[in-house]
Structure 1
Amino acid sequence: MPTIVLIGGGTAGHVTPNIALLPALRDAGYDVYYIGTRDGIEQELIAREGIPFHAVPAGKLRRYLDWQNFTDLARIKFGFLKSLLILARIRPDIVFSKGGFVTPPIIWAAWLLGIPVVCHESDLTPGLANKLSFPFAKRVCYAFAETAKYLPAGKAVHTGIPVRAELANGDAQKGRDLCAFKSEKSIILIMGGSLGSRAINAAVRAALPDLLVEYQICHLCGQGNLDSALEQTEGYAQFEYVTDDLPHLFAATDYIVSRAGATALFELLSLQKPALLIPLSPASQSRRSDRECRSFSKCRL
């Protein structure tokens, strides 16, 4: 039986495309393993899929002065050494990387062991983690046609981003029940990414009195961002993060307001839901995401 190791983490955008590949990998007879961080969202998401999960230390790769650079360099070193041990034990036929700062040490370890690596770049221009990984990869898949000029010649393959098929199979009534919505008003689903967005959360909650006149609001606000003062607000439902029930919320929703992460763009386009997209902040590489938004003219409100 062929074996594949999937890697990626930090945010859901680095994990859910891997999950989208699982049905095809299983149909092809692959034995699947996952390597990520212990503290990232990937461990929780992958646990639901029944896949063996291995955690490695990871350090963030910063391009600015910060005292954590010193401690994180040690974490990167230990992550590399632990990845060597894990991969030597599993001996996969291939490693597929969806990105995130956890991935470079794993890819370096795979290269040292002679294991082929395929990387995936979701964004319009590659981030630092992928730039450090590309020299060790056999192939580099990418989402946007314009990205090809930033990638190594002879390695690039235009694939788009894998989207979970189950997102289109939700039950609208289940979605309304999850939110305890009883009115016939239209529903707006507001998503700030898997980690949430303080700016979006604050703007939504400040505008609630006006929004609730015409709409019901389903708000995915990120871990630790629930507002207890709004728990009994009629027509407003808030969740930190939703996994299995997300297809039902999508089915119940009339409009979507979302951060413009690359994975979210492809998922929303596949659903053909009217959407208002919010470019990421400068700290989240907004220049890149702004260009990605303009590439998706069908995603509009």
Structure 2
Amino acid sequence: MFAQKTMAETADLAGLPAGDKGRSLWQDAGQRFVRNKAAMASVPVLLFVVLFASFGQFLTPWSNEEVDWSLLGQVYEEGGPSWENRHYFGVDETGRDLFARTVQGSRISLMIGLIGALVAVIVGTTYGAVAGYVGGRTDQLMMRLVDVLMSIPYMFVLILLLVVFGRSMFMLFVGIGLISWLDMARIVRGQTLSLKNTEFVEAAVATGVSTPVIIFRHIVPNLLGVVIVYATLLVPSMIIFESFISFLGLGVQEPLTSWGALINQGADHMRYVGWMLGFPLLFFTVTLFALFFIGDGLRDALDPKDR
């Protein structure tokens, strides 16, 4: 009872609410994230895009490959958005429903962005943490390999892979996986160097804890803030990268599609019909802004200087 009263009095003297005395760092970061209006406004927007990509196909009777023969070749006359024929976003030049294709394009673009971020988190975090903690020649060798890989013009290499081995989703994932983890490895390695000489790591070494356990039980959990922030900023970068490749016609191939492929198709008809470009571009832009705002909000919330 005396201890509880003393803690409450201490909180009062410090000018803090009594309920804040037991708040963890993650709870504090969560409250600061909630106070970020742009980030909080972006959360329901991103949730809407994810729900649209996941369940949008149930809102239309048309599939992404089905052709409406009555509108084939009529894109400039009767192929606009309509509630009567349930082509909510209109049709493309071949009579396929643009709503269903936008749903599929959203699903593929988000999947590519998430896979790229997942590869970066797993491979980059492991690689950077091992290099930073082990140090010495191992660190120099591992980071020189990263420097060599980062010096390769990956746009040229990816285009070469797609041309030689075929334009497929698998090769697109391979190309994105080659570049997504390099920056993460360098960031994690730098943070690991600042953590390896802290007291809790030295205590673990003194008690005989093995190196793998120290890395994955003591180092990596303390890097989660940096990893989460960079991962949220990496997802839109991967989406932009894939969209650019698909815009060039080297990414996702028919009958599959993505935001980049849809924007490429819509750009060819933008002088006559705006919906073919407008709807995919709207989802692409809104999603990128939402991801960037959320990433910026997480960066501010997890910044130790603001605690």
Q: TM-score range with shorter-chain normalisation?
A: under 0.3
Q: What is the TM-score normalised by the length of structure 1? A: 0.22
> 1 or 2 for the larger relative contact order (CA 8 Å, sep ≥6)?
2
Q: What is the TM-score normalised by the length of structure 2? A: 0.22
Q: Which has the higher strand share?
A: 1
